[in-house]
Structure formats: structure tokens, C-alpha cells
Amino acid sequence: MHELIPFAKEMLSQKPNRKMVKLYMLGSVLAFFGVVIGLVETVCSPFTSQGMLDEEKKPTPTREQMLAQKQEDLILEKSKKAVGTQRALVTRQHAS
């Protein structure tokens, strides 16, 4: 901030051309939007963290649910392996 005021005085004393003024205005506007977005994010962050805490409080799965999930995962793995082997065989037949 201490460097900004002398810089502005120097720019005004040199009478910059229009392109430079437009460039500095664009940079200033982008910086302003960055500050506004940062402030909005800071203000809204307590609400989003509260939502995350609510999601973390979900009940833990029971043992039966965990076993069922493991069985589903095993079935999916086996089906993927079978498809992969079939594909490899088909590729070999066409390659020869």
C-alpha cells in the first residue's frame, strides 16, 4: 500500500497513454474481484464446514452391510477380469 501512492503520483506526472491506463484499470478490476471473492469465501466458509460436519455424522455401516458391499465388489472384480480375458483372446485371434 505504501508503494501504491507514490506509484500513482508518478504515473499521473508522466501522463500515460490510453493503452497503459486500460491495462492498469483491468488489473485493478481483476484484483478487486479477487478481494471480493476472497471475502465471500471467508464469510461463507463456516456454513460449508457445518454441512461437511453433518455429512460426517452419518451412521457407520453394520457388519452385514460391509459384507454385502465386499461381495458386490468381488463380483464386479470377477466380471471385469472375465471381460478382460475374453478381449485378450479375441485380439489374439485377429492378430494372427
Q: What is the pLDDT of residue 30?
A: 95
Domain residue spans of the chain: 7-48+63-91
Integer Cα distance of 21 and 15 in angstroms: 10
Banded pLDDT at 17 (limits 50, 70, 90): confident
In percent, the amount of the chain with pLDDT more than 90 equals 15
Banded pLDDT at 22 (limits 50, 70, 90): confident
Integer Cα distance of 15 and 60 in angstroms: 68
Model pTM? 0.39
